[in-house]
Amino acid sequence: MSSINVAEFAAELKMPASVLLEQLRAAGVNKSNENDALTETDKAQLLTALRKAHGAQDGEKKKITLTRKSTSEIKQADNTGKARTIQVEVRKKRVFVKRDGAEAEPVVEAPVAGAPIEVVDAEQRALREAEARKSAELAELQANELKEKQALAERERQRETEAQEHAKQLEQTAQEKRAAADSGKSAAAKKQATAAEKAAKEAQEQAETQQRARELAEKEAAALNRMMTQPRRVAKAPPPPPAPAPVAADKAASERTLHKPVAKPGTKTEGADAKPKDKKAIKQSDLSSSWKDDSAKKRTIKTRGDSSGGAGGWRSPKGHRNKHHEDNVNSNFQAPLEPMVHEVHVPETISVADLAHKMSVKGSEVVKMLMKMGQMVTINQILDQETAMIVVEEMGHKAHAAKLDDPEAFLVDGEVQLDAEALPRPPVVTIMGHVDHGKTSLLDYIRRTKVAAGEAGGITQHIGAYHVETPRGIITFLDTPGHEAFTAMRARGAKATDIVILVVAADDGVMPQTIEAIHHAKAAGVPIVVAVNKIDKPEANPDRVKQELVAQEVVPEEYGGDSPFVQVSAKVGTGVDDLLEQVLLQAEVLELKAPVQSQAKGLVIESRLDKGRGPVATVLVQSGTLKRGDIMLAGAAFGRVRAMLDETGKAINEAGPSIPVEIQGLSEVPPAGEEVMVLLDERKAREIALFRQGKFRDVKLAKQQAAKLENMFENMGEGQAKLLNLIIKSDVQGSQEALTHAMQKLSTDEVKVNVVHGAVGGISESDVNLATASQAVIIGFNVRADHLARKLAENNGIDIRYYNIIYEAVDEVKAAMSGMLSPERKEEIIGLVEIRQVYRISKIGAVAGCYVLDGLVKRTSQARLLRDNVVLWTGELDSLKRFKDDAKEVKAGFECGLSLKAFNDINEGDQLEIFEVKEFARSL
């Protein structure tokens, strides 16, 4: 069937004839009515138009892949030494990509007036010629392949025509048979007609399939032909600008020089880049690649015995069969990467594991580094900041000191600064000096009370805080201890003070604690007023005191200095008014002011644990007003002020600047010297206090560990030192600190004092249990043990000592340590013996007949054998006889016989030096 009309083709497509006529006109086929004939060319034109209208043109293939395979054999020896023939198959693939229509069109370079001549060197020209030859060869090869494809398509077209004619004949036969069946023929004829119709449909579908395959092949061949025969893209010169021609010509010439040659075909230019963004740019190097380049991109086969080190083979490494490995495209040698250098922020304390994590290394590497540095640590051990920073630097990273996420920053950032007016405040005066120089007696006279009589032993063992009203205003006094054990208390007193009264006894002069008080005052930058006390004594010498203080750089005003000197007598009251006058003058010069209507801040002067009231702290308010019910934070302790007392024990509701008060309600006993502040939020106070507790614990552990590591190698090889364990309980925090410090200073190389536990409060059962476990002695300073604790101590044999004077506690501990010292051993020579005759007895050995030249010989003594004044043997006497009788001792001028224990090398003329070892008790 060579042709078909429009009506028949519409019936075949199952669509109205009018719609088909419209589609034909849109496709460019001029058909006016339904009876017009349609050819195969008209159908193909309609199909192409419909495909373009429905976007089928975009879906056609734009890429053709050509593959080539070659097989070769190599001989390789295996592990046993036998030669094996191995077949190696090399597959090469080449991909051709169809360009877009816009790119396919040749871009003709527009002639430019006065265009400069290209300057191209010989080497570049040779490269271009070689590339042109290669392209020509490739075009010839592809043209041959295209001819073969066209011949194949022609043969397929002939077979398709024959199949269509055969299908037409079958369809006519089926129509005839259907007509016969309709006219009442047999059932066999109907079956034949149905079979014939089915065969006709299959033949028609087969013909349509072949037609589609032919059209697709023709399109691919045409696209390949267009791609290989079209000229290369040439960059189009930009249109000449309206500016003067010489400038444009110079600019264009500078772009076509040897330093910047014209863009090669395939490189990106401005004209080539001007295309839609959604289409992928295709490089010319990808389009015209060679078979040689493609072979480098294929995976290589790693054979047995291959020592080339290829890592990109198709076989998986041993033990990784199920894992996916990317092909190593580039087999060139790659230099190792530089080590990563991390910026490590080291907090105050950090564990070894956390430090390793910050440096992105294994924890074992950090442990190794620390062991190389002489520190035996574990992965969970806490390091201090300094050690951790040294480790980071040693491992090649950069260390920076950093703080933890400290909630204390809230105290600075979130502090409410009220515009409170700063008003004058009373001065805070600290009385300092050597022990027994009359500090408390002077304050006693000022307060008109008998404070000194109440102190144990007549010495001050607490910081006393008092405020005194004088005719010229209020003065707050802090009375510090003078004993050497209370150094920390004096330092706290100088920190909190405005003016220091240095008390020096006129009959005693400058003493060690006087010098120490001067240093504390100068370190705090506080003015000093010198009170020369005990001026009423006949042996008083104020001039000597002045000379000694000048030597310590405390110069009187009359010598041109800035320290007033006042001669006073605390017993009689002489000069006390002048002293107060000088103090108030100094206060006026300082112009002391503090805000009153604001949140209170202060300093913990002293703290203790009261059995009935709980933790009690003596606080000196430095600014603001402390009120009952305020939320207070002091170190790791926090709480609400539930009660507030003045120094006389009277309850008060508020305290202003420079007023000392005793408060209750804290969660624990705060350390003396800690800053106190009032917060508005109790939750924030609790958070900061808990953070400080954890931080204090970590820092303490790190310091203990550092001390252990430092002492570890020192203690190796030394004899085990004796240990005196102590548990110290005191009434106040300051006394406990002073006593602990004084005890630890008593340690020697042979006997060490170890304070197992120190706290404030009475002695409880838990303290006794701790003493039992650690074999410690309990020292109670101004505290007592309760009934249950005493009974438990008696049952376990625990020694509890009570003291109220620090001298006695230190002296008794020193005596106990002296008793623990091993006695001193000394040799004492008591006689000299000369050997005059030697007898050899078979059962006994050598027996010496001797003459005692000097001293005496005792049976229990030890002897030293001398031959030509050289010591040969030292040991004990085995026997000592005078004639035939045993003798305990033989004096000078007498003869005796003796034998030596386990020694028989005795000659005539030898001498024996007789000595005894005596032990002497030592003391600290």
Domain ranges of the chain: 4-59, 101-252, 343-401, 407-421+594-714, 426-591, 719-820, 824-920
Mean pLDDT computed over 359-366: 92
Separation of alpha carbons 138 and 150, rounded Å: 18
Residue 671 predicted with pLDDT over 90: no
- Reduced to 3 states (helix: H, G, I; strand: E, B; else coil), residue 915 is strand
% residues pLDDT > 70 (the chain): 73
- Reduced to 3 states (helix: H, G, I; strand: E, B; else coil), residue 629 is coil
* Tokens describing residue 97: 């990509």
Residue 524 predicted with pLDDT over 70: yes
* Tokens describing residue 188: 């066999």
Cross-strand partners of 399: 344
Question: Is 407-421+594-714 CATH 3.90.1150.10?
Answer: no
Domain at 719-820, CATH from 3.40.50.2300, 3.30.70.20, 3.40.50.10050, 1.10.645.10: 3.40.50.10050
End-to-end, the C-alpha distance of the chain in Å comes to 135
With contact defined as beta carbons under 8 Å apart, do 802 and 887 qualify? no
pLDDT band at 815 (very low <50, low <70, confident <90, very high): confident
pLDDT of residue 5: 86
pLDDT of residue 276: 43
User: Of the ranges 1-10, 57-66, 159-168, 567-576, which one carries the lowest mean pLDDT score?
Assistant: 57-66
> How far lies 394's CA from each of 340, 341, 362, in Å?
14, 12, 15
* Tokens describing residue 696: 């204090």
**CA nearest neighbour of 466 among 499, 489, 440, 485:** 440
Residue 580 predicted with pLDDT over 80: yes
Cα 539–chain centre separation: 66
pLDDT of residue 62: 63
Q: In what helix (H) or strand (E) does residue 87 lie, and over which residues does it extend?
A: strand 83-97
pLDDT of residue 548: 87
pLDDT of residue 582: 87
Separation of alpha carbons 725 and 770, rounded Å: 11
pLDDT band at 213 (very low <50, low <70, confident <90, very high): confident
With contact defined as beta carbons under 8 Å apart, do 631 and 685 qualify? yes
Residue 322 predicted with pLDDT over 60: no
Whether the CA torsion 309, 311, 317, 320 is positive or negative: it is positive
Residue 294 predicted with pLDDT over 90: no
With contact defined as beta carbons under 8 Å apart, do 790 and 784 qualify? no
CATH class of 426-591: alpha beta
**CA nearest neighbour of 602 among 650, 658, 648, 646:** 658
Separation of alpha carbons 577 and 583, rounded Å: 10
pLDDT band at 325 (very low <50, low <70, confident <90, very high): very low
- Reduced to 3 states (helix: H, G, I; strand: E, B; else coil), residue 823 is coil
pLDDT of residue 492: 63
Cα 713–chain centre separation: 28
Mean pLDDT computed over 340-354: 87
Mean pLDDT computed over 562-583: 86
**Residue 571 per-residue DSSP state:** T
Residue 711 predicted with pLDDT over 70: no
User: Of the ranges 89-93, 141-145, 178-182, 544-548, which one carries the lowest mean pLDDT score?
Assistant: 178-182
pLDDT band at 479 (very low <50, low <70, confident <90, very high): confident
* Tokens describing residue 476: 């707050």
With contact defined as beta carbons under 8 Å apart, do 623 and 597 qualify? no
User: Of the ranges 75-89, 306-320, 687-701, which one carries the lowest mean pLDDT score?
Assistant: 306-320
Separation of alpha carbons 847 and 865, rounded Å: 14
* Tokens describing residue 516: 């120490």
Q: In what helix (H) or strand (E) does residue 73 lie, and over which residues does it extend?
A: strand 63-77
pLDDT of residue 368: 92
Q: What φ, ψ does residue 717 adopt, rounded to 5°?
A: 85, -15
pLDDT of residue 260: 44
Q: Where are the alpha helices (DSSP H) in 646-729?
A: 682-715
**CA nearest neighbour of 724 among 749, 752, 745:** 752
pLDDT band at 292 (very low <50, low <70, confident <90, very high): very low
Mean pLDDT computed over 189-215: 77
pLDDT of residue 897: 93
% residues pLDDT > 90 (the chain): 12
pLDDT band at 434 (very low <50, low <70, confident <90, very high): confident
At residue 430, what is the residue type?
Answer: T
Task: Write out pLDDT tens, residues 56-90.
Answer: 555 455 677 888 888 888 887 777 777 888 888 88
pLDDT of residue 493: 57
pLDDT band at 256 (very low <50, low <70, confident <90, very high): very low
Residue 1 predicted with pLDDT over 70: no
**CA nearest neighbour of 860 among 907, 898, 910:** 898
**Percentages of the chain per state (helix, strand, coil), in multiples of 5:** 40, 25, 35
Mean pLDDT for all residues in the chain? 76
Residue 4 predicted with pLDDT over 60: yes
Residue 836 predicted with pLDDT over 80: yes
> How far lies 145's CA from each of 92, 142, 288, in Å?
18, 5, 17
DSSP codes of every residue in 830-874? EEEEEEEEEEEETTTEEEEEEEEEEEEEETT-EEEEEETTEEEEE
Burial 368-400 (b: 16+ CB within 10 A, else e): ebbeeeebebeeebbbbbebbbbbbeebebebe
* Tokens describing residue 631: 């939320």
Task: Write out pLDDT tens, residues 137-147.
Answer: 887 887 888 88
CATH fold of the domain at 824-920: Elongation Factor Tu (Ef-tu); domain 3 (2.40.30)
With contact defined as beta carbons under 8 Å apart, do 489 and 734 qualify? yes
**CA nearest neighbour of 731 among 590, 896, 823, 606:** 606
pLDDT band at 189 (very low <50, low <70, confident <90, very high): low
Cross-strand partners of 565: 530
Cross-strand partners of 885: 882
Equal CATH topology for 407-421+594-714 and 426-591: no
pLDDT band at 706 (very low <50, low <70, confident <90, very high): low
776: exposed, middle or buried (C-beta count within 10 Å: 0-12, 13-18, 19+)?
buried
Cross-strand partners of 601: 623, 677
Task: Write out pLDDT tens, residues 645-663.
Answer: 888 788 899 988 888 899 9
Which residue has 């204090």 as its token pair? Answer: 696
Residue 716 predicted with pLDDT over 90: no
Query: Which has more pLDDT, 907 or 271?
Result: 907
Separation of alpha carbons 90 and 88, rounded Å: 6
Mean pLDDT computed over 11-33: 85
Residue 504 predicted with pLDDT over 80: yes
> How far lies 440's CA from each of 83, 306, 366, 502, 794, in Å?
109, 97, 57, 12, 39
pLDDT of residue 707: 55
Query: Which has more pLDDT, 382 or 417?
Result: 382
**CA nearest neighbour of 432 among 502, 524, 350:** 502
pLDDT band at 390 (very low <50, low <70, confident <90, very high): very high
pLDDT of residue 156: 80
User: Of the ranges 18-32, 218-232, 624-638, which one carries the lowest mean pLDDT score?
Assistant: 218-232
Separation of alpha carbons 837 and 123, rounded Å: 119
pLDDT band at 853 (very low <50, low <70, confident <90, very high): very high
* Tokens describing residue 437: 């120089």
Residue 303 predicted with pLDDT over 50: no
Residue 311 predicted with pLDDT over 50: no
Separation of alpha carbons 675 and 658, rounded Å: 14
Residue 572 predicted with pLDDT over 90: no
Task: Count CB-CB contacts under 10 A for residue 135.
Answer: 14
With contact defined as beta carbons under 8 Å apart, do 593 and 424 qualify? yes
pLDDT of residue 183: 58
Residue 451 predicted with pLDDT over 80: no
Mean pLDDT computed over 180-196: 62
Task: Write out pLDDT tens, residues 761-799.
Answer: 889 888 898 888 888 899 999 899 988 899 999 988 888
User: Of the ranges 428-437, 758-767, 774-783, 856-865, which one carries the lowest mean pLDDT score?
Assistant: 428-437
pLDDT of residue 17: 85
Mean pLDDT computed over 42-69: 75
**CA nearest neighbour of 533 among 440, 459, 450:** 440
**CA nearest neighbour of 592 among 467, 421, 423, 473:** 423
Task: Count CB-CB contacts under 10 A for residue 108.
Answer: 9
Query: Which has more pLDDT, 409 or 758?
Result: 758
